[in-house]
Amino acid sequence: MPVNPSSRGRTSTPKRSSTRRSKSARGSAAPSGRKVSAAGRSTQKVSGARLVQPGSAPADPNATSRPTEAVEELVDGVATKLHELERDLDELRARLAERPVATDAFGVVAEIFADELRSLLGDAPPDSATVRRAARLAIAERAWQQGLGELWETKDVIAVLGVSKQRVSTLAKEHRLIALTHDGRRRFPAWQFAGTDGEDRFRLAEAHRALVEDGHINPWSAASWFLTNHPELDDSDPVEWLRSGGDPDRLLAAAERDAARAAQ
């Protein structure tokens, strides 16, 4: 086929379309990624979610409000509980601030004693007389031990005298030993065993019995009589009088006179 000489060396360039889309046409064209359904509804994929376009069915307004309301109710409940806890803590701090702080040993003991009473009696505190009586009973043995010296148990007497438990019980019942009872247990003043023999212990127990039975003196108080200097025993206490070889009959006579005076 003959070639047009004027076209030699030229490259064919396609003609650019001069047709431009109008704004209305551009707006009506479906954008990339949009699917048009047969019913005319369209949805666009946006970040993996489906965006409902105009013309589609309206969403249920309660679908998102219900979870929101549940969360709000939960938050309100937690806030209320926190407020109640803060109020309880404030009340506790106020009570602790008003409570006196124990600064000495007696204060600590008083707090322990009060806590024990509270655990036993609840919110009904005992009267003052009951508290005093309970305190005396609680420390009776300790207080008398400070005044009477060491107090032995039955096992200690068994070890010192070398006798059986039954024998110790018999000696106490026959008033041949001074035996003091506390909480159903016998306690024996240790001073009656130091530097004395069986006869001396019997004389001491005899004088103690006179003070208790004739003078109606508490057994513990009667025991303290033996550690008190007596004018009828040359200002010696009865125990020391007997240990130093004093007349046991004179000791018994002094005890009987004191018992008679106490009974009046």
The whole-angstrom separation of Cα 160 and Cα 179 is: 15
Report CA 219 to chain centroid distance, whole Å. Answer: 39
The whole-angstrom separation of Cα 48 and Cα 50 is: 7
Strand locations in 122-224 (E):
151-152, 180-182, 185-189
When comparing pLDDT for 95 and 81, which is higher?
81
Number of H helices, E strands in the chain: 10, 6
When comparing pLDDT for 107 and 187, which is higher?
187
Out of 16-20, 124-128, 161-165, which region has the weakest mean confidence (pLDDT)?
A: 16-20
* pLDDT above 80 for 218: yes
Out of 89-93, 181-185, 188-192, 258-262, which region has the weakest mean confidence (pLDDT)?
A: 89-93
Interval 11-69: pLDDT, tens: 444 444 444 444 444 444 444 444 444 444 444 444 444 444 555 555 555 555 666 77
Q: Are 246 and 236 in contact (CB under 8 A)?
A: yes
Residue 154, both tokens: 């039955």
CB atoms within 10 A of CB 249: 9
Regarding pTM above 0.85, the answer is no
